[in-house]
A and B are shown apart, each in its own frame.
Chain A
Amino acid sequence: MKLTRTKAFKTFAGPAWTNNPINMQMLGICSALAVTIQMNTALVMTLAMTFVITTASLIVSIMRKIIPGNIRIIVELAVIASLVILTDEFLRAFYFEMSRMLSIFVGLIITNCIIMGRTEGFAMSNPPHLAVMDGLGNAAGYGSVLLSVAFLRELFGSGKIFGYDVIPQSFYDAGYEDMGFMLLAPAAFIIIGLMAWLQKYLAGVEDEA
């Protein structure tokens, strides 16, 4: 059987591309606006989100048969919240400047609807290995959008990539200017809108409307 035909691969690839949480489902927009001014913050946010969603899906999936149905949402939330607090504590201890830059947005991973949605909608009813693939797939889908948006915003907004100058001085001398607008939240909205349009076009999705 080819790798691309396995269920695990499909579970991963679905959310990473055809069912991308940001571009296709329009979830997780809040953090995608806030942390995409620089590649640095977008990358750390992606890693934090990957850790939380994968681990939360794994834990919930392992315990899915013993979690009482009537309190399952609270259990999912408690697991996610604990993982987020752990991530936050870790960043504050080892990457202080970064945690300062991400400010409240690490904490807000708790309310990221992608994670809650995946634990409730997928991990509760699927075995652990698929839940992990689903978590990784969603994280990849989320992260790839975050990093692409951050790439465009940092490149055009401040002429840098990961904090390093990439636009040569001669451009500035010739009259090129950074686009201040790229640093504002509305710019991220426009970029995400364009990306969603592009991806839907490429993936051949047609709206029912």
Chain B
Amino acid sequence: MSDMAKSIVFAALMCAVLGILLTGAATALQPLQQKNVENDRRKNILLAVDLVSRDQRYTHDEISALYEEKIELFGANQAGEIVPGDRINEEPVLPIYLYIVNDKINAYIVPIDTPGVWGEISGYLAIDADGSTVRGFTITRHSETPGLGGEIERQWFQENFEGKRIVDRQGTFVSVRVARGDVERQVDEEDRPHYVDGISGATLTGHKLTEGIEQILYRYEPVSIRFRDNRADLPGDR
């Protein structure tokens, strides 16, 4: 057999062996990994409404118990009405997670999925039942540059959003925006409630996030308006 043929046979065999090995490992470990991802998703929803703390560790069971007790998935239709969660696969109905205490809505959580610089940024933004104050913000997944845009996964950045307002004093929707640098230095005093501190070296990530959050919150405005007017009710046939 010539050297060339030998190399080709060797390469083919190697690909087959490594391929089988990696496929086997990936398939075998997938259920565990998916469980981790789902658990992380739930934990982030709980984090957004401050039901769990970032400094503490939780078991999977603790997270699921807390999640199932406090959080429920609903839909929000174009009129801003809250509809049962099984209708979110219908086109104009948006998914909305509700944090319910004693049959009353305490906060609502909007999933954020928006393009970043390199890939999708996913997370959750929780808003108080007043429809205008941000309760919390978390990021579950992103592929921004580590050390630059990747800093969005840091605690300080996410906690930055707490207490910010998505409407101005006149009650007009303004969303919440990422400033270029420190809010105190870059933003006029009256606009400060709508800005969070940006990350130096990550202007583009900040832009993308600002744009994404604005577009998503705009789609949720009908339901947010109902919350502001105190007209948001749980569906009767729940």
Contact = CB atoms under 8 A, between A and B. Distances in A.
Given A89-B26, A185-B147, A96 B36 contact: yes
B interface, by DSSP: helix, strand, loop or mixed? helix
Interface stretch (B4-12, B81-89, B174-182, B219-227): B4-12
Contact of A104 (B32, B33, B39, B146): B146
Interface string A50-80: 0000000000000000111011001100110
Given A82-B18, A82-B21, A85-B22, A92 B11 contact: no
Contacts of A86: 21-22, 25
B32 A68 contact: no
A82 B22 contact: yes
A89 B146 contact: no
A27 interface: no
A197 interface: no
Nearest to B39: A96
B7 A89 contact: no
A68 B16 CA distance: 17
Interface residues of A, number: 24
A27 to B, nearest CB: 20
B68 interface: no
Contacts of B147: 34, 185
Nearest to B150: A103
A79 B150 CA distance: 30
Interface in A94-122: 94, 96, 100, 103-105
Nearest to A81: B18
Contacts of B150: 103
Given A68-B6, A92-B36, A94-B32, A74 B21 contact: no
Interface in B81-121: none
B46 to A, nearest CB: 15
Nearest to B37: A96
A13 to B, nearest CB: 33
B106 to A, nearest CB: 28
Contacts of B146: 34, 103-105
A23 to B, nearest CB: 23
Contacts of A89: 25-26, 29, 33
B66 interface: no
B40 interface: yes
Interface in A131-163: none
Residue of A86, A89, A93, A105 with most partner-chain B CB within 10 A: A93
B3 interface: yes
Interface string B130-160: 0000000000000000110010000000000
A139 B76 CA distance: 55
B204 interface: no
Interface of A: 34, 66-68, 70-71, 74-75, 78-79, 82, 85-86, 89-90, 92-94, 96, 100, 103-105, 185
Given A68-B3, A68-B7, A94-B32, 8 more contacts: A34-B146, A66-B10, A67-B10, A74-B11, A78-B14, A90-B29, A92-B33, A185-B147
22 contacts: A34-B146, A68-B3, A75-B11, A75-B14, A78-B14, A78-B15, A86-B22, A86-B25, A89-B25, A89-B26, A90-B29, A93-B29, A93-B32, A93-B33, A94-B32, A96-B33, A96-B36, A96-B37, A96-B40, A103-B150, A104-B146, A185-B147
